[in-house]
A and B are shown apart, each in its own frame.
Chain A
Amino acid sequence: MGAQAGSPTLRAPSVSLFSRIYGFGSVYAKTLRDSRLAFIIAAGVLGGMMLVAGAAVGSVFPTPESRREVDKLIATVPSSMSGLFGNPINVGTLGGVMNWKYGPFFALGAGLWSILALSGTLAGEASRGSLDFVASSPFGKRRLAIEKLTAHLTMVGLAMVVLAVCAWAGATIYGDASLGDAIPPVSAIGFALWVGFIGLAFGGLAFVLAPLLGRSGSAGVAGAAMVAAWVSNGYSALAPVAFFSPFHWTANHVALVGQFDWPSLALVGVVAAVLLVAGVEVFARRDLGVTAGLSAPGLPAATLGVGGPARRAFGDQLPRALAWGVGLGLFGAMLAAMVGSLAGQMASAPSFRDVFTTLFPGYDLTRAGDFLQLYAQMLFIFAGYAGATLVAKWASDETEGRLEMLLGTPLARGRWVVGGGVGAFAAVVIMTAGLALGIGLGAVSGGVEVGGAVTGTAALGLYAAAMVGVGIAVGGFWRTSMAAEVAAIVVTATFLIDLLAPPLRLPDWVHQLALTAHMGKPMIGIWDPAGIVACVVIAVGGVALGAWGIRRRDIG
């Protein structure tokens, strides 16, 4: 073939083996490389949870008698909460308990990962400006989107392999085959496929919306849709909405006990595929980086805070604090409104109450307040993550390059840290007020003592403030780029220790390491002074440590 005049034939330079291995050979490889940490976290958390849950269930219900009792009693589960957990089938087996008690949380976790990854893989890069460089490479936008998407699918696929192997291994190691605990490979694969497909369906929604709404808008909508789908499937009052819920479609796919509903799973897969393909097309057809955005109502100029570092920090944190406050408030309102009926049903079903007493020792779940306290334990992780995101906002002064200019003024380093801490604490107050308002409103209809419930939310605020202190200490003393991550790791570790130490029968001192184990039961008016003091000391001490530490290190 001869070269035409004016269009010389150029031989494309080959991509070196080093580049290919190191992840610089293509957009696909680079995306895989960028997803390494997320994959390790997702696969580690999902696989690890499966192993840990297997160990916990095996140790809590070790005998045939306890299994039979559980199987019998779970059948009385109130319809109003059957779907918040999974479908209670063969709960006397290890697979049945895991599918029922933890199944939806695996799917929600996978969904969260896919939403964050697929909302950000193109939109996040577009907002940073790096997408323009990539998109100016000699291939089309469609291929760019496909390569990015394929990389995420690869990572999800690998994570699901890990999950399936862990499900099979957990049952093999911790289960008792004579009690029906074995989870054959096809069941493990069926469960992993369900988790992956549910995750990709909501990730696909984020992916298709990202070119239109930007990263945060698409992640917010997809996340809200996922929670709505899960709750609508679980709460009988929302049954009409459940028609649109993939959780509802696949309610009969209880793979870990060998009950499969492949058509429903295929439907979720088709929905995910359609959304993902649509996402590629939308990205290919729209202008790069031009989004409609979800514009929240603007805050008054007075709240922006240009009077000083603390006011500026608070002004910067305010939208985030309000978002957390509204989100947690709505969630709290829903929970508080629900606990009255749940407690009533629990009181009318003594056998069911006995099961829950075994699972959650120390709670009288015939009382609405205790039920709310049980849910509040779950809210601690949200409050902690809220604190971590406030730390991230504070840290952005340095990570995004503002701090250098701020410190070029007479603003001392320590004062910047203290101002940031004060601003973050004020943001925690706003967030907690939103949560208290929601819980208070819900408590009115949920039969919970309103005063106690509202006051009890202060414990969540204190915990969030403590996590702010942890993050600011790390950011001031070490580096701000790691501050929020470390705070989030502390939150996760605290949650896991508090959750798993009792059923795993770990030594008591291990459980005592969790700050949330020292908070008492504030929703019913039982406060533990040790936890309150610890939170205050960690919060204030963390800021003081950060202010001292930043004097010793280089900026930037």
Chain B
Amino acid sequence: MTAVIRTEKLTKSYGSHRGIVDVDLEVDQGEVFGFLGPNGAGKTTTIRVLLDLIRPTSGKAFVFDIESSADPAAIHRRIGYLPGEFALYDRLTGRQTLEYFGNLRGGVDKAYQTELIGRFDLDPSRRFREYSKGNKQKVGLVAALQHRPELLLLDEPTSGLDPLVQQTFFTLLRERVKDGATVFLSSHILSEVERSCDRVAIIREGRLVRVDRVDALRDLAHHQVELRFEGVPPVAEFQKIPGVSDVTVEDHLIRLRVLGPITPVVQAAARLGVTDFLSREPTLEETFLAQYGRETSEATEAAEAAAAEAGEAR
């Protein structure tokens, strides 16, 4: 499959501040690729390097096999871009704004533009400064979509949109992908990545920590299991099963976490006379938190402990 986006050891530093470090990424044609990470992880920096808005400190970025800084206009001709934060011309109406961005691309299909305006339920006659945050976002989305780009680079695209419009947006994305377009969607909202993306990359502190299919990331995660027994729960039997951790007991209920295959836990439960069994497949959010949360919570706990100690000392 052809890679639409490819980066090789892509690094961007802002003086002494970290941007992204050694990012290797490939996004194939026709896929919806989620770029997931907490605020400040380097998502926007990566997109801005791909667009040649900023230049890499080292490494290379290719879009449509064109190096990003070699011929950015050739890349921009084929993409649609929605920045995470943007402002447009206060005095222009929504329609004039869209007309201008259409003209910068040599004109767009007016019928499709009108269709997009209608589907997003946007009133194009109002001046940009009069729009609410959500309506401004709709103008940006139409501007990014109206020329039917081959690649959509969307930075936090659902910011400010109500759930109904979000639904419309994801439907439009699917239609674009069906027509052969590729989508690179940056977000920190896990549920939207989970529901719309084929593959996801997780970036943290400027480095890619994982790139995989959404399903695979789910499999990677733990299972949360609850077991109910009539008598005293046989805790020790479960604690010795490989992959089991975080075992807690509450009356007749055992809660535990299973990493890897769940079959040994199921077999043990059946053997020990379980009366109720509940296993929950983790959401991507839980996967994400499992990936990131541990260090964060450890750090938080350490800080809280230190603060508590200091308080006692006083």
Seen from chain A, the residues whose Cβ lies within 8 Å of a Cβ on chain B are 301, 304, 306-309, 312, 316, 319, 400-402, 404-412, 554-556
**Chain B 10-61 residues near chain A, CB threshold 8 A:** 48, 51, 53-55
Q: Is the CB of A556 within 8 A of B92?
A: no
B106 CB to closest chain A CB, in angstroms?
8
Q: Tell me which of B51, B103, B106 contacts A408 (CB under 8 A).
A: B51
B76 lies within 8 A of chain A by Cβ: yes
A438 CB to closest chain B CB, in angstroms?
26
Q: Which residues of A contact B51 (CB under 8 A)?
A: 407-408
Q: Is the CB of B86 within 8 A of A401?
A: yes
B51 CB to closest chain A CB, in angstroms?
6
B159 lies within 8 A of chain A by Cβ: no
A127 CB to closest chain B CB, in angstroms?
10
Q: Is the CB of A307 within 8 A of B73?
A: no
Q: Which 7 A-B pairs have the closest CB atoms?
A: A408-B81, A306-B100, A554-B54, A409-B104, A401-B87, A555-B53, A410-B77
Q: Is the CB of B100 within 8 A of A405?
A: no
Q: With a 10 A CB-CB cut-off, give which of A400, A406, A409 has the most chain B CB atoms.
A: A409
With A308-B103, A404-B86 as given contacts, are A554 and B76 in contact (CB-CB < 8 Å)? no
25 examples of A-B residue contacts, CB within 8 angstroms: A304-B91, A304-B92, A306-B92, A306-B103, A312-B89, A316-B89, A401-B83, A402-B86, A402-B87, A404-B83, A404-B86, A405-B81, A405-B83, A405-B86, A405-B88, A407-B51, A408-B51, A408-B76, A408-B144, A410-B73, A410-B74, A410-B76, A410-B106, A555-B53, A556-B48
A472 CB to closest chain B CB, in angstroms?
19
Task: Report Cα–Cα, A316/B89, bound state, in Å.
Answer: 8
B99 lies within 8 A of chain A by Cβ: yes
Chain B 89-106, CB within 8 Å of chain A: the 1/0 string?
A: 101100011011101111
Query: Chain B contact residues: over half helix, strand or loop, or mixed?
Result: mixed
Task: Report Cα–Cα, A410/B108, bound state, in Å.
Answer: 13
Task: Report Cα–Cα, A411/B101, bound state, in Å.
Answer: 10
Task: Report Cα–Cα, A90/B13, bound state, in Å.
Answer: 65
B217 lies within 8 A of chain A by Cβ: no
Q: Is the CB of A402 within 8 A of B73?
A: no
Task: Report Cα–Cα, A311/B106, bound state, in Å.
Answer: 15
Query: Chain A contact residues: over half helix, strand or loop, or mixed?
Result: loop
B115 lies within 8 A of chain A by Cβ: no
Residue in chain B with minimal CB distance to A312 = B100
Q: Which residues of B contact A411 (CB under 8 A)?
A: 73, 76, 104
Q: Which residues of A contact B88 (CB under 8 A)?
A: 402, 405
Task: Report Cα–Cα, A404/B51, bound state, in Å.
Answer: 9
Residue in chain B with minimal CB distance to A409 = B104
Q: Which residues of A contact B86 (CB under 8 A)?
A: 401-402, 404-405
Q: Tell me which of B48, B105, B144, B153 contacts A410 (CB under 8 A).
A: B105
A311 CB to closest chain B CB, in angstroms?
9
Q: Which residues of A contact B105 (CB under 8 A)?
A: 409-410
With A306-B92, A409-B104, A409-B105 as given contacts, are A401 and B85 in contact (CB-CB < 8 Å)? yes
B52 CB to closest chain A CB, in angstroms?
8
Q: Which residues of A contact B97 (CB under 8 A)?
A: 306
Task: Report Cα–Cα, A556/B79, bound state, in Å.
Answer: 20
Task: Report Cα–Cα, A105/B77, bound state, in Å.
Answer: 54
Task: Report Cα–Cα, A556/B51, bound state, in Å.
Answer: 13
Q: Tell me which of B72, B96, B143 contacts A405 (CB under 8 A).
A: B143
Task: Report Cα–Cα, A380/B80, bound state, in Å.
Answer: 45
With A304-B92, A404-B53 as given contacts, are A409 and B87 in contact (CB-CB < 8 Å)? no
B269 CB to closest chain A CB, in angstroms?
48
Q: Is the CB of A307 within 8 A of B103?
A: yes
Task: Report Cα–Cα, A304/B54, bound state, in Å.
Answer: 30
Residue in chain B with minimal CB distance to A316 = B89
Residue in chain B with minimal CB distance to A307 = B103
Q: Is the CB of A304 within 8 A of B76?
A: no
Q: Tell me which of B53, B76, B99, B153 contacts A409 (CB under 8 A).
A: B76
Q: With a 10 A CB-CB cut-off, give which of B55, B76, B88, B89 has the most chain A CB atoms.
A: B89
Task: Report Cα–Cα, A410/B153, bound state, in Å.
Answer: 14
Known: A306-B100, A405-B86. 6 other contacts (CB 8 A): A301-B96, A404-B48, A405-B143, A407-B76, A408-B76, A556-B54
Q: Which residues of A contact B53 (CB under 8 A)?
A: 404, 407-408, 554-556
Q: Which residues of B contact A319 (CB under 8 A)?
A: 91
Task: Report Cα–Cα, A407/B83, bound state, in Å.
Answer: 11
Task: Report Cα–Cα, A312/B314, bound state, in Å.
Answer: 64
Q: Is the CB of A555 within 8 A of B104?
A: no
Q: Is the CB of B104 within 8 A of A308?
A: yes
Residue in chain B with minimal CB distance to A413 = B72
Residue in chain A with minimal CB distance to B98 = A306
Q: With a 10 A CB-CB cut-off, give which of B72, B83, B86, B104 has the most chain A CB atoms.
A: B104
A300 CB to closest chain B CB, in angstroms?
12
Q: Which residues of B contact A405 (CB under 8 A)?
A: 81, 83, 86, 88, 101, 140, 143
Residue in chain A with minimal CB distance to B100 = A306
